[in-house]
Structure 1
């Protein structure tokens, strides 16, 4: 159903997408790869693709490539998506019955008022989300994450790092999560190793 709707979409596809819930619930890998292929196809044919994910979702997506932020789509990060969602040309929306995984069943919504409400929910999260940086130099971290990496390198606890950088605890935690997602891991220790290999430290 989702593949058919994505294939028929011509103007805009909006999603809340976090593959980590699929991984934790044991969705078969072939289904995950099929879903990723549908999104890649949409990215190639739809003028506007806006995906919202979480840092954890982005980290789990490293091998799937569902979030098409490097391939013509637009993506933003929020701390946690409220539910999985796809809105096709603002006429049809799909949400999972359990709010997390389409594989467990889905509800197709065509009621214009409900679709508008879901589109507005997506828009509000989009305006408050953080952009994924696509124009960074390959041998350097994004400018706003470089100070985060320096604090991690120096072994600063979070409270000391927030004081050094003048950030709130929430903003610092979100940027740490973004850095981990960028490096394709959920471990700070592993992130330091990867950053060292890339020459970022």
Structure 2
């Protein structure tokens, strides 16, 4: 038995989380009957970070993830912890032969500064409309899920129940097949229309306040569009973004 990997949007996200919760309750019942290996409960904060570091360091063959780490800022997770987690994931991506990271498009754009998703490194990452919950599966033998399904740093169980691990692998495979390659959204003839004026302001060297006033955009909206443009140009630097845009003939 498993749970259905619905397309992760709106009501389907809620339904997926409810099915996962029911599936985990079933697993806990079997654990209580000593029919399956128990999960190790880990508290949040530094302890959760240490556990993730140990598990990632021990991953040898495959890493599957369903995660928007930049969304942790909305969960009041410190930038220092998020940066540490991003560094651990980047190290794993460089070392582990098979990596499949699933993010939301919003999460990919917001991840510009953290640089967690290796979507420019050989197709390791894809995007879906919305992440239904967070998870990571290492070598198809161990999985971690946030206790609240939203933030690993709020606490997590280490799951070695093979039934649960296989179900999570199947769900990840299903979403991977229907997700998008973020590199496919890159354009060679210019950026999307809504980013053209942002590129002009960037090349003109305007401050965010001045650019926002010129374009009648709030500082937050302007900053979000700048991050979207940087992601499109595959860089974290505004200076390099300008140079790359010129190289591509966009300006």
Q: Same fold (TM over 0.5)?
A: yes
2:149 alignment partner in structure 1: 99
SS of structure 2 residue aligned to 1:96 = coil
TM-superposed CA distance for 1:33, in Å, is 1.0
2:88 alignment partner in structure 1: 38
CA pair 64-148 structure 1, distance change in 2 beyond 3 A: closer
Q: Take 2:146 and 2:79, find their aligned partners in 1: how far apart are those partners?
A: 18
Q: Take 2:177 and 2:108, find their aligned partners in 1: how far apart are those partners?
A: 18
Residues paired across the two proteins, number = 164
CA pair 180-109 structure 1, distance change in 2 beyond 3 A: same
Q: Which of these residues, 63, 82, 85, is aligned with residue 132 of structure 2?
A: 82
Structure 1: which 4+ aligned runs deviate by more than 6 Å? none
SS of structure 1 residue aligned to 2:183 = coil
TM-superposed CA distance for 1:51, in Å, is 0.2
CA RMSD of aligned residues (A): 3.1
1:161 alignment partner in structure 2: none
1:7 to 2:57 alignment: yes
CA pair 74-55 structure 1, distance change in 2 beyond 3 A: same
Q: Take 1:61 and 1:3, find their aligned partners in 2: how far apart are those partners?
A: 20
Q: Which has the larger radius of gyration?
A: 2
Whether the 8 Å CA contact 2:195–2:229 is kept in 1: the answer is no
Whether the 8 Å CA contact 2:112–2:227 is kept in 1: the answer is no
Q: Take 2:179 and 2:170, find their aligned partners in 1: how far apart are those partners?
A: 14
CA pair 73-41 structure 1, distance change in 2 beyond 3 A: farther
More helix by share: 2
Whether the 8 Å CA contact 1:43–1:72 is kept in 2: the answer is no
1:142 alignment partner in structure 2: 187
2:107 alignment partner in structure 1: 57
Unaligned runs of 5+ in 2: 1-50, 197-223, 233-240
1:110 alignment partner in structure 2: 160
Q: Take 2:150 and 2:229, find their aligned partners in 1: how far apart are those partners?
A: 23
TM-superposed CA distance for 1:56, in Å, is 1.0
Provide, for residues 112-166 of structure 1, a one-character-per-residue CA deviation record: whole Å limited to 9, x for no partner.
01000001111111000001218x9xxxx436xx69824876xxxxxxxxxxxxx
TM-superposed CA distance for 1:70, in Å, is 2.4
CA pair 152-67 structure 1, distance change in 2 beyond 3 A: closer
Q: Take 2:90 and 2:57, find their aligned partners in 1: how far apart are those partners?
A: 11
SS of structure 2 residue aligned to 1:133 = helix
TM-score by length of 2: 0.57
Q: Take 2:69 and 2:228, find their aligned partners in 1: how far apart are those partners?
A: 13
Unaligned runs of 5+ in 1: 154-176, 186-193
TM-superposed CA distance for 1:21, in Å, is 2.4
